[in-house]
Amino acid sequence: MATDEKVPLLNDDVDDVPQYSSRNLVPHSLGPHPEIDKLTITASTSGLSIAEKDSIVAIFVVAFDTRSGNIIEWCVPEDTDLDGVEFKAMTSGSHTLDSDFVYFRKENLFGLSCFENMKVESEIERGARMKSVGILALSYTTLYRHMQFLETQVRHQLETPGNYSQLLAFYNDRKGILPYDQTSETLRASPVPSTSSTPVRELLPEMKITHPAGCFNQFIKFFGEQIFVLWKFALLQRRIIFFSPPPIGVVCYRVYCACCLANHSIMNLNCIELKPHFYVNVADIEALENEVSFVACTTEKIFESKTHLYDIYVDNQMVRTSSIALRDLLKVSDADREKLTKLNNQRTAHKFSADELGEEANEEEVITSFFTEMNERLFQTLLDISQSQDRQLTSDHMKSIGLDPIGDRAFLMELVEHYGIDVVLMVDNPCCPK
């Protein structure tokens, strides 16, 4: 896999990464160990800033057994409920790869695992030894800190199977406290109580967070003008599934970026949480049937036929829906093309300015700020109109918020209905002229 696909999911300054190995802790493919270990999160509604701590609740090794398939080879704590994790940490189709990584969910926990496939001269192992080393935590925003350690450890497990001392030392250093569920002896996550120093909601999309280097650049380059189709479905808080054959790591970043497209800080909206599920497989079908809003990715083609599970299905660069009511939203409007041009112009201007000053360009911030500001302008305009005397939303209003009065009419109608914003749309339906 290319190096730029293996950047951290989140990235910020840290300075207390413990050294668990005196040599070769960091794979050469990723360069020097980043000086990263503290994530600054700014609550847009309160101006609070917190340094998020590690909250690792389990560490595990998954192996492929020629007789039993994927198995949990080792884990700490030993009584952790890892049912199904062996099929997420080692994804469907990963046997075709030399290495990969994957983000996933296990109920209310988030996981990151690194996979590697090593050739061996062993008839019992059929010429290949495959393992994944992963962790579970309360939040996905801190998982990136440990990717390089996990990559090193999966190689260590392949070369010296059964030696778990470094994994155990890592867990003891980084473990978090996870309360027991009152109805079960299985460890489960519980919501963090809201206090004056903790955010009310999960970090995404309510919080402003940093982004992996190159993540959004790749995302926009990959989807082009269709980025605004994804933006509309993210704002509508729909069910989105990204399909791609392995490797799946970079597709997990698409899940993250899609969630960030809907970022804003506007209060007084009837919102539901747009949940990043990251990698899902057939074992998640029942759980997804009960979700009304999520973004996920998979390597399993069977999801395409499960049309009741999603609103849009993204097969690499092809975005489609089985819902007749939503098909108009798949069309790229003239306003979408104008927004893409505006975004690219801002990126170019920022890069030129940074070059002039001899500084490193931060295009990620330009991109995320573009969508956040656009969303806030859109929602604030709609809320202001809903509180006006006539509540009339005109073509000029639509143009002012970056929407096409004709091409985006269906989207706007879905949007105001979804959020319960009371406006009177004064734009004629092109199919029904006066």
Type of residue numbered 368: T
Asked if 49 and 42 count as a contact pair (C-beta separation under 8 A), the reply is yes
Per-residue pLDDT at 140: 87
Per-residue pLDDT at 144: 85
Strands (E), 366-432: 392-393, 424-425
Distance CA 370, CA 366 (A): 6
- pTM, 2 dp: 0.80
Bridge-based pairing state of the strands 294-298 and 49-52: unpaired
For residue 40, report the phi and psi dihedrals to the nearest 5 degrees: -95, 125
Residues ≥6 apart with Cβ < 8 Å to 104: 85, 88, 89, 110, 111, 112, 113, 277, 278, 279, 280
238 — alpha (psi -120 to 50), left (phi > 0) or beta?
A: beta
Report the CATH number of the 209-330 domain: 3.40.50.11500
Per-residue pLDDT at 234: 97
Asked if 367 and 434 count as a contact pair (C-beta separation under 8 A), the reply is no
Long-range CB contacts for residues 179-188, cutoff 8 Å, separation at least 24: 185/79, 186/79, 186/80, 186/81, 187/57, 187/58, 187/77, 187/79, 187/80, 187/81, 188/81, 188/107, 188/108
Mean pLDDT by 10 residues, the chain (434 residues): 45 38 28 31 31 80 92 96 96 91 95 92 77 94 88 95 94 73 34 33 35 77 96 97 95 94 88 87 95 96 96 96 93 96 95 90 89 96 95 95 95 95 81 49
Type of residue numbered 130: M
Tokens encoding 299:
């390597």
Per-residue pLDDT at 15: 39
Per-residue pLDDT at 430: 56
What is the gyration radius of the CA atoms in the chain, in angstroms?
A: 23
Every domain range in the chain assigned CATH 3.40.50.11500: 209-330
Closest CA to 234 of 274, 201, 264, 207: 274
Per-residue pLDDT at 333: 96
Bridge-based pairing state of the strands 312-315 and 318-320: antiparallel
Closest CA to 398 of 419, 413, 418: 413
Closest CA to 30 of 59, 55, 2: 2
Tokens encoding 380:
């604030």
Per-residue pLDDT at 182: 32
Per-residue pLDDT at 364: 85
Asked if 255 and 278 count as a contact pair (C-beta separation under 8 A), the reply is yes
Query: Could you identify the residue written with the tokens 């990717």?
Result: 147
Per-residue pLDDT at 270: 77
